[in-house]
Every structure is written in structure tokens, then in C-alpha cells.
């Protein structure tokens, strides 16, 4: 059988070698032809219908993955840059806000100081004017009382003396007396 | 075990119709698997596409182990077809062997030395073809003088030894597996007692034969690429 065929193959170096080869008891040349033919056809068909398209898809995928990775890398860089920018902006904004708050505080302080000073001055001014007014009123009242007292004194004196005392003649005297009386009090 | 082979003659050439039928069935199965698993291909693979892509990457890995991908890429299709073909051929004889009128019809095509030797010879002839094509005739003959000119006779013997071992290794593994399965099956067919005795070993051996069939397909493609690399790569 098969074993024999190889024994034959090695042993038959004689003239009938090819004849022996192509013999059902030896080798089936037909099988060899059919094997090569079938395998070649299978390979060609598979390349056309199966491996070709599959390889195409796999290559496409590899390409897609490569571009995707590249794009991801790019967008990562872009976002990193953006983040850095945003961070800088935020820092700047924070500094601005801080300075604004500081300024406002300072301004407020100054304003408060100013207000307090103004209020104090106003109070002082009002106090002073009130004092002046009081003094003036007092002066006026004293003068009025004095005048009234002079008239009353003259009236009383004229009644006591029983005669008309000329106001014009004695006023100077009376007033002198009143001042003395005032001093004596 | 001593079955005759069917035979017919056409144009003075003898054919074994059983071999032709089994080769045709093998080709058909391989083609159908590959064809239907590569319908509506998607960027995000599902189901059988995943499997076929795994096979492709597997063969790609084998080639990359042996040579530069720029050189080896052209053998990708050969490698995938070869591994699928040999694997399916190895599997076909496992579930059954059909003998009709004393002639063996259903078996693994790779259990026939004519077919395995044809495949091996085809591969080796292809290595020589690509050796001449890619290195030029001068470069091709130079490889025989590497690494030492006096080793040239050994290099020539190596070519024949490679062909013989590549074909006969596959044949021997698959044929032996089928012989043992046949023996266990005939033991199981003798009596109920025989069936009980043969069941477990038969199952175990069939499982092991699947493993052997896969390993042999892998080895066949691996060695194909090793021999190819010897011929087309100048670095080795």
C-alpha cells in the first residue's frame, strides 16, 4: 500500500520508473495533480472572496485606530492648553477681584473717616451757634428785664415821691443804681 | 485496516476518486467557513469575523516569527489557506471512516502520503521559486554556500530531507490516529463488552486526535514559513 509505494519509489531506479510511478499500485499521479489543482483553486477563491476583503477591513481598522489615536493625542494637547489658559485667566480674575475688594475697602474706610470728621465738625458748629444764640437771647432777656425794671422803678419812685419824676432827668441815676444792685446780687 | 483504494484511469493517468472526493469536501468546507464568516464585514467584528481575524493574526504571528513582515506579507494568504486546509483535512477522518465494497472512501485526505507529499513538495517548490525571485539566481545559489562552502552537499540533502519530513510527519500523525480510531471502533463493534471497553479510550483518542490535527496544521504552516525564511531572507 502506501508504505510499499515508497519502497517502490526508492527501489525502482530502473527503466520502468515512470511507468511504476503512474500505477495504481504505486503512485497516483492523478491525485497529485488534483491536490495541487484543488489547493490552488481554493487559495485563489479564498483570496478573492474571503482573505482579501478581511485583510482590507483589518487594514482599514488599523488605519482608523492610528488616526483615532492621533486625534485623541491632538485633542488632549489642545484641552491641556485650554486648561492652562483657563487657569491663567482664573488666576488673573481672582487677582482682579481681590484688588477691587481691597480698593473698595480702602475707599469705604476713607469715606467713613470723612463722614465722621464732617459730622463732628457739624456737631461742633451747631454747638457753637447754639451757645452764641443762648448768650444772645440771655443778653436780650437781661436787657429787656433791665428796661422793664427801670420803668417800674421810676413808676414806683414817682408814686412814692408823689410827683412826676422826669424820666429823662433820672434815668441815668436809676440805671446806675440798678447796675450797682445787679453787682451787689 | 487493509482496505483497497478505489481507482480509475483517465488519459493514461490513474486517479483515486476517494482522494478527489475528500479533497473536494475539504476545499468546500474551508471555502464555506471562510466565505460565510467574511460576509458583511464590520469595523467592530462580531462572531465568526472575530474567529477569522484570530486565524489571520495567528498566521501573521507565525510569519513574523520567521521573517520580516515586508518580505513575509506575501505568504499570508498561502499560510492561512494552508492552515485551514490542513486542519479541516485532519478533522474529516475523525468522526468516521467509510468503507464501501472493500474500498476506503471516507478518510482524512491527509492520511494519504501522496497528498501530504504533494503539499510538502508544493511548499518546497514555492520556497525555491520565491528564493530565485527575491534574491535572484545568483543570490539563490549563494545560499547553498552559506555558512560554509563545504556544507553545500548537506544543504542539498537538507532540501530533500525537508520535503520528506514535512510531508511524512503530517501523514504519519494523521494516519496513525485514524488507524487507532479504526482499531477502537472495530473493538467496539465486536460485542457489548467490547463497546464498553472501547468507549472511553475511543473518546479520549478522538479528543487527542483533534489536538494532534490542530498541532500538525500549525507545525505544517510553521515549517513552511521556516523553510521560506531560509530561502528569501538574507539575514538568516
The domains of chain A are located at: 2-184
pLDDT at B110: 84
Residue B111's nearest CA partner among B8, B26, B223 is: B26
pLDDT at B11 over 80: no
Q: Do A177 and A156 contact (CB within 8 A), yes or no?
A: no
* A6 contacts B52? CB cut-off 8 A: no
Residues of A in contact with B118 (CB under 8 A): 31-32, 35-36
- Give the model's confidence band at A2: pLDDT under 50 very low, under 70 low, under 90 confident, else very high: very low
Query: What does chain B come to in residues?
Result: 236
Tell me how close the Cα of A74 comes to any Cα of chain B, in angstroms: 23
Nearest neighbour of A47 by CB, restricted to B24, B49, B77: B77
Report for A118-132, A170-184, B152-166, B173-187: range of highest mean pLDDT? A118-132
Residues of B in contact with A56 (CB under 8 A): 41
How far apart CA B213 and CA B200 sit, in angstroms, is 20
With cell 476517494, the residue in question is B18
* Chain A interface with B: residues with Cβ < 8 Å: 1-2, 5-6, 22-24, 27-36, 38-39, 41-43, 45-47, 49-51, 53-58, 60-61, 64
pLDDT at A40: 87
Alpha helices in A12-51 (DSSP H): 17-21, 29-46
Q: Which residues are CB-neighbours of B112 under 8 A, at least 6 positions away?
A: A2, A31, B16, B19, B171
Phi first, then psi, for residue A22 (nearest 5°) are: -90, 65
Higher pLDDT, A68 or A164: A68
pLDDT at A96 over 80: yes
* B15 contacts A36? CB cut-off 8 A: no
* B81 contacts A35? CB cut-off 8 A: no
- Give the model's confidence band at A10: pLDDT under 50 very low, under 70 low, under 90 confident, else very high: very low
Tell me how close the Cα of B38 comes to any Cα of chain A, in angstroms: 6
Among A54-68, B38-52, B72-86, B128-142, the range scoring the smallest mean pLDDT is: B38-52
pLDDT at A13: 42
* A38 contacts B24? CB cut-off 8 A: yes
Nearest neighbour of B122 by CB, restricted to A31, A39, A45: A39
- Give the model's confidence band at A25: pLDDT under 50 very low, under 70 low, under 90 confident, else very high: low
What ipTM, to 2 d.p.? 0.79
Residues of A in contact with B170 (CB under 8 A): none
Among A18-22, B2-6, B121-125, B126-130, the range scoring the smallest mean pLDDT is: A18-22
Residues of A in contact with B119 (CB under 8 A): 35, 39
Chains A–B, number of C-beta pairs less than 8 Å apart: 122
Among A40-54, A133-147, B34-48, the range scoring the smallest mean pLDDT is: B34-48
Q: What is the mean pLDDT of chain A?
A: 81
- Give the model's confidence band at A129: pLDDT under 50 very low, under 70 low, under 90 confident, else very high: very high
pLDDT at B2: 57
Identify the burial level of A179 via C-beta atoms within 10 angstroms of its C-beta, where 0-12 means exposed, 13-18 middle and 19 or more buried: exposed
pLDDT at B126 over 50: yes
Nearest neighbour of B34 by CB, restricted to A41, A50, A55: A50
pLDDT at A128 over 90: yes
**Closest-CA residue of chain B to A64:** B43
Nearest neighbour of A50 by CB, restricted to B5, B38, B85: B38
What b/e sequence results for A40-62 when a residue is b if at least 16 CB atoms lie within 10 Å of its CB, and e otherwise? eebbebbbeebbeebbebbeebe
- Give the model's confidence band at A8: pLDDT under 50 very low, under 70 low, under 90 confident, else very high: very low
Among A117-121, B55-59, B80-84, B181-185, the range scoring the smallest mean pLDDT is: B181-185
Q: Do B42 and A53 contact (CB within 8 A), yes or no?
A: no
Tell me how close the Cα of A76 comes to any Cα of chain B, in angstroms: 24
Amino acid at each position: 500500500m502506501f508504505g510499499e509505494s515508497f519502497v517502490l519509489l526508492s527501489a525502482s531506479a530502473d527503466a520502468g520508473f515512470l511507468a511504476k510511478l503512474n500505477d495504481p499500485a504505486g503512485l497516483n499521479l492523478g491525485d497529485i495533480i488534483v491536490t495541487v489543482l484543488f489547493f490552488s483553486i481554493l487559495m485563489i477563491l479564498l483570496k478573492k472572496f474571503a482573505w482579501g476583503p478581511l485583510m482590507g477591513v483589518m487594514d482599514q481598522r488599523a488605519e482608523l485606530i492610528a488616526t483615532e489615536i492621533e486625534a485623541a493625542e491632538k485633542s488632549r494637547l489642545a484641552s491641556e492648553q485650554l486648561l492652562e489658559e483657563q487657569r491663567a485667566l482664573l488666576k488673573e480674575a481672582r487677582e482682579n477681584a481681590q484688588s477691587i475688594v481691597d480698593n473698595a475697602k480702602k475707599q469705604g474706610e476713607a469715606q467713613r473717616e470723612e463722614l465722621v470728621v464732617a459730622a463732628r465738625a457739624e456737631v461742633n458748629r451747631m454747638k457753637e451757634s447754639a451757645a452764641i444764640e443762648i448768650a444772645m437771647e440771655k443778653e436780650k432777656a437781661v436787657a429787656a428785664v433791665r428796661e422793664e425794671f427801670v420803668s417800674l422803678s421810676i413808676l414806683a419812685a414817682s408814686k412814692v415821691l408823689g410827683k412826676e419824676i422826669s424820666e429823662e432827668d433820672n434815668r441815668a441815676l436809676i440805671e446806675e443804681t440798678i447796675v450797682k444792685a445787679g453787682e451787689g446780687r | 485496516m487493509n482496505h483497497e483504494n478505489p481507482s480509475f484511469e483517465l488519459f493514461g493517468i490513474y486517479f483515486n476518486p476517494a482522494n478527489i472526493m475528500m479533497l473536494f469536501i475539504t476545499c468546500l468546507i474551508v471555502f464555506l467557513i471562510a466565505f460565510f464568516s467574511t460576509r458583511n464585514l464590520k469595523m467592530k467584528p462580531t462572531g465568526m469575523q472575530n474567529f477569522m481575524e484570530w486565524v489571520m493574526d495567528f498566521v501573521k504571528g507565525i510569519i513574523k516569527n520567521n521573517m520580516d513582515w515586508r518580505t513575509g506579507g506575501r505568504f499570508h494568504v498561502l499560510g492561512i489557506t494552508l492552515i485551514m486546509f490542513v486542519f479541516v483535512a485532519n478533522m474529516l477522518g475523525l468522526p468516521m471512516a467509510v468503507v464501501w465494497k472493500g474500498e476506503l472512501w471516507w478518510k482524512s485526505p491527509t492520511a494519504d502520503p501522496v497528498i501530504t507529499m504533494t503539499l510538502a513538495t508544493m511548499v518546497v517548490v514555492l520556497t525555491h521559486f520565491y528564493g530565485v525571485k527575491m534574491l535572484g539566481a545568483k543570490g539563490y545559489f549563494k545560499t547553498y554556500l552559506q555558512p560554509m562552502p563545504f556544507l553545500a552537499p548537506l544543504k542539498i540533502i537538507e532540501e530533500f530531507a525537508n520535503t520528506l519530513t514535512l510531508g511524512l510527519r503530517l501523514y504519519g500523525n494523521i494516519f496513525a490516529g485514524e488507524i487507532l480510531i479504526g482499531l477502537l471502533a472495530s473493538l467496539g463493534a465486536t460485542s457489548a463488552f467490547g463497546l464498553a471497553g472501547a468507549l472511553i479510550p475511543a473518546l479520549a483518542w478522538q479528543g487527542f486526535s483533534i489536538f494532534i490535527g490542530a498541532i500538525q496544521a500549525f507545525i505544517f504552516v510553521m515549517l513552511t514559513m521556516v523553510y521560506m525564511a531560509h530561502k528569501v531572507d538574507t539575514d538568516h
